[in-house]
Structures are given as structure tokens and as C-alpha cells.
Chains A and B, each alone.
Chain A
């Protein structure tokens, strides 16, 4: 990989964080978000701050420019930019650093830009403030900057508003704004998390190129180890507000010293799934599936056009098989999944378990529903917030086995919860009392209690941290082996798809780009788009190559 060995440390670091402690005094008590972390940033290097949600990495990043909202307390430690203490510095002193010497870009480019101002105006503001430029001078410089960050057709886009740009373009505007004064340090707080993988790769490449050009240091905050491996010179691993390990990226990745780092590295999904035999019974057989959405316009919402979300896709699933569908947002992968289960209206022949289900009335469809179940992405939105988890899991049983006695039903609910490793004693609790991973287990239990043959998994691990993700994947594998389940696995995350499925289908704008056995697709992709996707996903390599010897 392209590690910059040129960035050998000069004598003085340009940013020094020493024994930093950050508390939040909430009325429920004091939360210690950061507990004694120290690191240095040198000119021209890329330092990655890695950790899972709640590790305090974003809070550390925001503390540098003193951007944390009240009720923040810096109880101990120091943040020095070129020997200048930033904690407790006067607002004028801080303002001279912000945007000029240290700039920052954020995760959500849509909400991080002012929706009511043109992008030119927003970038020009920095120049006028720090460089004392006139409006006209600033405008000329903004155009240069837009060319620099490769915004297509920059002249025409100057007057555009954020909502008129795509996600990638918005992040480029943010980068242009950050680079306007050629800062010494760029803090990038999860700059690519909200973007599709291919766009993500482009933005990272752009950042890297600009770093070469301007020689600035980048402090890169992320949860994505793949990106770190590819782009960072040094890495700091954070956990629960503390720094557990830091070092040269290659060294940390090949010889991690701390058990948590090992755990993180091993949480990269691994393993693969052997294909099923060709004469296993067919569970789902779909031919030429098409889904169209009407585009409405005008005063009364007349249908003016049809948008084809899924355009003639055929697929066959055999018992015990896992078919993975990959694609970026807008590729129609979720729509396809829902159409196959008749949760959406579509056209095309669909046979489930030997029965033709297209054109089936909802009432006739109901008995089949228990054999085909769904697990959704959002662990917050997929459980009804006003029902206990016991009620949520029992709901399907009430529909399909109305004659079941309450105690039998309760027994079934407990069994289902045990199967997903959630204590049955907690069945009278409500969804908001569980963590994201636990909720996803509950959603799986809701599906499994009906003993289905087929599960549609719609991005079931995308909202979870890697370490939690791995455990959910393990659970899904166990369940598949135990119950001979058939999975249709929808995801944008290639690593997870590779680990779980034996057959992969790559989708783009409603059509199949390429499909085949998983290893074939990943090892020798035939289509340019597939290659681009796989390259952008930058996998870490298997843990076998790593000598894990924690101190």
C-alpha cells in the first residue's frame, strides 16, 4: 500500500495533545467522554484516529478547534498548536486558528452546509474573513478552488445551493472551503461515511492528492479500518475515551499490540460459504421482475412518467443458498427484495416454494408469509416503539397460529429469544432499552419464531459497529446451518456479502451488471463497474496473514 515513508517526523510536532480529559456535565450525571489521551501530529503526515461509536474520537477532533457545545468541561490536559495552547484561549485567538491554520470537514455534507446560501458565498466567506480579500478577489479564488477539488463545470455551479449538488460534490465543496486558506492541519471527521463506496474512493484520492500539493497534515477520524490501512501513515486506536494503541499503520496492522486492536482487526468479516448442490430444491424462482414508480407532478399530482427501479431481473434461490445483492444507493436492490416478497407491487413471474405468488390476493398470500420473513437495516425503526419485545415477537404467532394457548406462545417467544442470545427474562422490556446489536437480534427473533424457510436480509448489519456486525453475521450463519435457511442478502458492504453468500449479483440502476459464484466475482470480476466497487471497498486481507501477539 502507499504509505508515505517520506513523512519522517521533523523535530517539532505542529499539534500536540497531552493527557486530554473531556467531561460533559449532564443533569443525569457527568459523562467522561475522553479520559487522558495524548498524541502528536507532524507536518505533512496523515494520522488516523480509529474507534467504534462512543469511543470519543469525534469529540477529540472537535475539541481541537474548541467546537464542542456546552456543557463541555476540559478538566485536564492541553491541546497545543505550534506551542500555542488552545484550551481556554481567547475567542479572538481561537478564531484566527479556525478555518485559517486548522480547517475541518464533517461527516454529513448536506447538513454541514448552509442550505440558504450559495456555495460560492460560503467558500468566499473564509477568504474574506482570513485573507482580507474583496468579494471580487474571493470569487476568482473560489473558482480556482472548485477546479482544484474537481467539481464538474465549476463556473456554472458557483451560484448553486447545496441541495442542487450530489453528496460527493457537497463534500468537495466542504473540502474547498477547508483548503481555502491553505491550512497546516486538516481535520476530517468521517468525511466519507455518508457516501457510496465508489464516491468514497474518489474523495479520499482527492484528499491525498491535495495533501501532496499543499503539504498539510491530516487528522483523519474514522471507524473504517480499510480506509485507514490505505491512507494513513500513523494510527491511533481509541476505545471508551482512551487511547489503547498508536503506531505506524503497517506495524499496527501487521503486529497489533493491544487485544482490542486485534479484536477490531479481526472484526473484519471473514470466512466464506460453500455453494449448495445444484439439485437442492428451488425455494424462490423469479423471472423478469420489474418495478415501476409513478412520477407525479402538478397541482393534483398527475402521473407524468414512470421511473423503473427494477428492470427485468431474474433469479433462482435453492434451499440453503445465500444470494448476495450488492449495489450503491439507488441501484434498486432493496426494491427488488421487497418486490420478491410482494411487499411492493411489481410485474413478473415469481414462484415461492412451488406456488405462483404474483397476482395472489393478500388473503391468499397470508399463509405463505410465515415461510418468508424479513430483517431490515434500521435497528431503531424496525421495532414498534410502543410494544414490548415479547409482544413484537408474538405478533406473527397471533396471526398464523391463532389457536395457540398464551403459555405456549410465551414459550415460543422465549425459545426464539434464547436462540438469538437475548435473555428471555427481558421480554417485557421495550425496544428503546436495547442497544443497536440487540435490537437487530430481536428483529431476527421476530422472523425466526415463525420457522420460515426463507429470509430476506435487507442491509441487516449496515447500521452496526464492525465488532457487533461480526457477531450478528455469526448468528445468521448458525441459524442457516441449524434450520436449512435460504437467505437473500442485500448490502452495499462487499466484505459482509463476501463472507456470507455463495452467489453474488451486482446491481446498478435497476439492472444486473454481473452475477456468479462469490469467489469468481471477487477474484476475477468481468465488468469495469464491479472492479471499481471491489477496488473501492479496500479489504484488509485475512487475519491469517497477521501475527497477533498482544502485549
Chain B
């Protein structure tokens, strides 16, 4: 990656050559590329992502750990809201298929999908922050709850929309399945038919979507943190990308990659636990 033209120290002014040489040496950049690469890999193994190029006093690891708790908190809330409301709205729409309620939920969900969160976030700020003045329009304020509401909402809305659409689709399919007819023939109430028999089957596709949903929330957090000025990993990442801060970009990508793989693993485990047909395979 360092074969690309331009470097992190190409500032406004041209640095005197000896200073540049010193800098490069400090970051091991005077060594051949393959050595740099192996050094980096060795560092990764012990959790060392190397020093940041731009935030000169911090290592990448320190930067990631300072931003992570904040990003994690926002992400978790967003996922939670996405799952609860998504499943709720999806079931509601599925069980009232082709009624005004269904149409309302589904067209709202379509809006949630079609309006990207970097449009949604400014709109939310404009309405609740500027026009109504209920909540602060941005900033972090050391994690006061008022400052968290809008970013969490902006992160969660697309997930609510996706999960609602998915739940509705699979719920409708399951409700037409033959084992639902069997359940009805047993004489149990419609509410029990839904909660005991349909819900679990209908949620399987939603469970397997949780992996991609995590990736979606993480991706979304990059732009949301940027818009609201939240000191999470996402914001560091964008700054790093704009500044060509290689180690920080690389470190964040590796960190997120690991996180997403971890989540996918977790989702697979949950899925296997829920679906006996997978469990025994």
C-alpha cells in the first residue's frame, strides 16, 4: 500500500531532507517494504498496530481503545432498537397483510431504506436540534444522554427498516406453511400459533441477517460520528483516510474485520442453537 504516490508527511511545506529522513527512520520507513510488512504482522500478533502517523503522540492501539467504547455503546443501542422495533413492525405488518396498517409500515420502511443515513442524520438534526431545539444538534458533551439520542436514532432507523421488511416477508411465508395449518388444527389460539410456532421460524432469516447488520451499523457509525462530531473510531478512521495515515487506516480495518468475524461467529452459534436441523448436521 505504500507504493502509492504521496506520503503522510507531504505537508504544506517541503520538509528539509534530513528531518524527513529522521522521521522515516523513526517509523521504520527507510527499510525495504517487505521488512516493514513483516514488522507490522509481528506487531499485530501482540495487539500492536504500530504508531499513528498523524496523531504523533499516540499509538494506533491507544486511539482505537479510546474510541471503541463510545462507538460500541452507540452501535449496541442502535442494534437493539433495530431488532426490537424491526421485528415488532415486521410482525405487525405481516399479520395485518394488505391492510392500511401494513401499507403504512412498509412504505415507511421503504423510506428508511431509500433515504441514506447521511441524509437522515442532517434532517434529524435540523428538525429536533435546530427547529424544535429539543436535543443538541451535535457534539459529545462527555456522553450526556441528550447527545446520544439523535446519533443512535440515525444509526438505528435503516436497521429497523431492513429488519421490518425481512420479518414481514418471512412471517408471511411461515404463516402459509403447512405446520401452521397443523397447529391451527390442534385447536390452539391464533396468538399461540403465532408466538409458539410461527415466530421462531420466521426469525431465523432475521438472525442470519444480524451479521451483515453489524457491518451495516459499523459502516453507518463512520458517517454518523462524522456528522455529529462524536469521538468514536469511525471519526478517527475518516480523518486517517483523508490524511493518508496508513497505520491508523490499516489498524482500524483489521480491528473492524476481527470484530465482524467475531459477530458472524456469534450469529452462527445462535442460529445453530435455534435450528435443530443445523445443529445435528
Contacts and interface: CB of A to CB of B under 8 A. Distances in A.
Interface stretch (A76-84, A90-98, A479-487): A90-98
B187 A129 contact: yes
Contacts of A113: 179, 182
B277 A99 contact: no
Contacts of B189: 91, 95
B173 interface: no
A69 B180 CA distance: 11
A97 B188 CA distance: 10
Interface string B155-181: 000000000000000000000111101
Given A163-B277, A164-B280, A112 B187 contact: no
A130 interface: yes
Interface string B168-207: 0000000011110111111111100000110011000000
A209 B186 CA distance: 22
Given A114-B197, A116-B200, A99 B179 contact: no
B274 interface: yes
Interface string B248-281: 0000000000000000000000000011110010
A434 interface: no
Contact of B181 (A106, A161, A177): A106
Nearest to A68: B181
A100 B187 contact: yes
Nearest to B176: A69
Contact of A112 (B178, B200, B274, B275): B178
Contacts of B181: 62, 67, 106, 112
Contacts of B184: 65, 67, 98
A110 to B, nearest CB: 9
A112 B188 contact: no
A281 interface: no
Secondary structure at the B interface, as helix, strand, loop or mixed, is helix
Nearest to A180: B186
A116 B274 contact: yes
Contacts of A115: 179, 201, 275-277
A193 to B, nearest CB: 14
Nearest to B198: A114
Contacts of A85: none
Contacts of A94: 187
A106 B187 contact: no
Interface string A52-78: 000000000010010101000000000
A175 interface: no
B195 to A, nearest CB: 12
A111 interface: yes
B178 A99 contact: no
Contacts, number: 75
A100 B188 CA distance: 10
A126 interface: yes
Interface in A144-182: 161, 163-164, 174, 177
Nearest to B179: A114
A65 B181 CA distance: 11
A69 B178 CA distance: 11
A111 B187 contact: no
Contacts of A96: 187
B188 A106 contact: no
A108 interface: yes
A114 B183 contact: yes
Contacts of B183: 114
A148 to B, nearest CB: 18
A164 B274 CA distance: 16
A125 B177 contact: no
A104 B176 CA distance: 17
Nearest to A159: B276
- Name the residue among A91, A113, A117 with the largest chain B CB count within 10 angstroms: A117
Contact of B187 (A99, A161, A163): A99
Given A111-B178, A161-B277, A163-B277, A116 B185 contact: no
A253 B190 CA distance: 43
A129 B179 contact: no
A103 interface: yes
Interface in B3-46: none
Nearest to A163: B277
Contacts of B277: 115, 161, 163
Interface string B76-96: 000000000000000000000
Contacts of A100: 187
A63 to B, nearest CB: 12
A91 B176 CA distance: 19
Contacts of B280: 161, 163-164
Nearest to B201: A116
A130 B187 contact: yes
B186 A129 contact: yes
B177 to A, nearest CB: 7
B187 A67 contact: no
Contacts of A62: 181
A413 B244 CA distance: 69
A117 B187 CA distance: 18
Nearest to A65: B185
A95 B186 CA distance: 8
A80 B196 CA distance: 30
Contacts of B190: 91
A99 B276 contact: no
Contacts of A103: 185
Nearest to B97: A70
A383 B185 CA distance: 38
B182 A95 contact: no
Contacts of B201: 114-116
Contact of B178 (A65, A97, A108, A125): A108
A68 to B, nearest CB: 10
A86 B78 CA distance: 48
A99 B183 CA distance: 9
B134 to A, nearest CB: 44
A97 B187 CA distance: 7
A117 B186 CA distance: 15
Contacts of A111: 177-179
A409 to B, nearest CB: 45
B276 A177 contact: no
Contacts of A98: 184-187
Contact of A104 (B179, B185, B196, B197): B185
Nearest to A123: B186
Contacts of A108: 178
A95 B189 CA distance: 7
Interface of B: 176-179, 181-190, 196-197, 200-201, 274-277, 280
30 contacts: A65-B184, A67-B184, A69-B176, A94-B187, A95-B188, A95-B189, A97-B187, A98-B184, A98-B186, A99-B187, A100-B187, A104-B182, A106-B181, A111-B177, A111-B178, A111-B179, A112-B178, A112-B179, A113-B179, A113-B182, A114-B183, A114-B197, A115-B201, A116-B200, A126-B187, A130-B187, A161-B277, A164-B280, A177-B182, A177-B186
Which are the 9 A-B pairs with shortest beta-carbon distances?
A98-B187, A99-B187, A99-B186, A111-B178, A161-B276, A95-B187, A104-B185, A114-B179, A112-B178
Interface of A: 62, 65, 67, 69, 91, 94-100, 103-104, 106, 108, 111-117, 125-126, 129-130, 161, 163-164, 174, 177
Given A67-B181, A126-B187, 17 more contacts: A65-B185, A67-B185, A94-B187, A95-B189, A98-B184, A99-B186, A112-B181, A113-B179, A114-B179, A114-B183, A114-B197, A116-B200, A117-B197, A129-B187, A161-B277, A163-B276, A177-B186
